[in-house]
Amino acid sequence: MATLKDRFGRPLQDLRISVIDRCNFRCTYCMPREVFGKDHVFMPKDELLSFEEIERLATIFSELGVKKIRLTGGEPLLRRDLPILINKLSRISGIEDLALTTNASLLTKMADDLKEAGLNRVNVSLDALDPALFQSITDSSATSRQILNGIDEAKKVGLGIKVNMVLKKGMNEEEIIPMAKYFKDKGITLRFIEFMDVGKSNGWDYSQVISKHEILEMLGNHFKLEAVEPEYIGEVAKKYRYVGTNTKIGIISSVSEPFCSSCTRARIAADGMMYNCLFAEKGIDFKAKLRSGQTKAEIKSAITNIWQQRNDRYSTERTQQTAKQKNKIEMSYIGG
């Protein structure tokens, strides 16, 4: 099978699937409560793709070259009976890696079932260890200890783990070193993510970005690091190793050093809309295609045509003006 490529020669290799648009946190940079309050209308159950529909789409994507699937949300662990879906996806031929991005608030009680169902690894979102700061950022009653317990349980049952920390000036820069020390001692990869202008509700501004250069400078005052070569095409994080250990950190520098040129990811939102970019304005409705009885060949042809016409490279072209004016889909809807 020939590799499916877009207009810039980028292969289709990764698929992000959002399974739900709801979340039990109200992180200020993602789902601020003033936008996603008690009156916010989330998708009813019949608008969400069923597990069978997700499995069908994922199978078609695998036949087109996708090797990795990551489940996202919202908070995916809020989707009822999620291990059933994971088991279905784990059985698809050609899928080499099945991962899940989570805030880990429910991970302690679900880690074993997720592993047993066939999940390979989790990416845990955690922006602070300090209890008060954690609750301020997440605008929730959950505790950072609850998240750390979830990480410990995931490690205990044999799931691979990466921790993702979004950095924003004035929010959590004082947590960079404590987080690095904690996860270095745990032997867990910590990835620092530059604050991005995903969606329209997080009040993004260039002045709030802590750049890759600044992050490395802060870390360099406390640790000796050495650069690590990428493991595969499209790897988003620039990786470094603590000298004398096998433990790594990563920096996802979508703002200061965009990686659009090597992006291999397609996205399916919880209602079946396909997007070619995290910063997209519009998508293609695959739920309608599935529910109208289109054949596998028809759906495969549609995906092929969409990817071959893909020319997204938003982060490379971003300016302060376009960041404010572009009508981007919210991250909680499209999946991180």
Q: What is the pLDDT of residue 230?
A: 83
Q: What is the pLDDT of residue 326?
A: 65
> Which residues, including other chains, have CB under 8 Å from residue 143's CB and lie 6 or more apart?
131, 134, 135
Q: Is 276 left (phi over 0), alpha (psi -120 to 50) or beta?
A: alpha
Burial category of 221 from C-beta neighbours within 10 Å (exposed 0-12, middle 13-18, buried 19 and up):
exposed
**Ranges in the chain, pLDDT < 70:** 1-2, 199-204, 234, 318-328, 331, 336
Q: What is the pLDDT of residue 319?
A: 65
> How do beta strands 189-194 and 248-252 pair?
parallel
Q: What is the pLDDT of residue 313?
A: 84
What is the per-residue pLDDT across 237-275, written as a single tens digit (0 to 9) for each?
Answer: 899 999 999 999 999 988 888 888 889 999 999 999 999
What is the per-residue pLDDT across 213-244, written as a single tens digit (0 to 9) for each?
Answer: 999 999 999 999 999 988 877 678 899 999 99
Q: What is the pLDDT of residue 198?
A: 72
Q: What is the pLDDT of residue 260?
A: 86
Q: What is the pLDDT of residue 321?
A: 64
Q: What is the pLDDT of residue 320?
A: 65
> How do beta strands 273-275 and 265-268 pair?
antiparallel
φ/ψ of 325, rounded to 5, equals -90, -30
Quote the CA–CA distance of 26 and 44 in Å, as a whole number: 20
Give me the half-sphere count of Cα atoms (radius 13 Å) on the Cβ side of residue 26: 12
- Domain segments of the chain as ranges: 14-334
**What CATH topology corresponds to 14-334?**
TIM Barrel (3.20.20)
pTM: 0.93
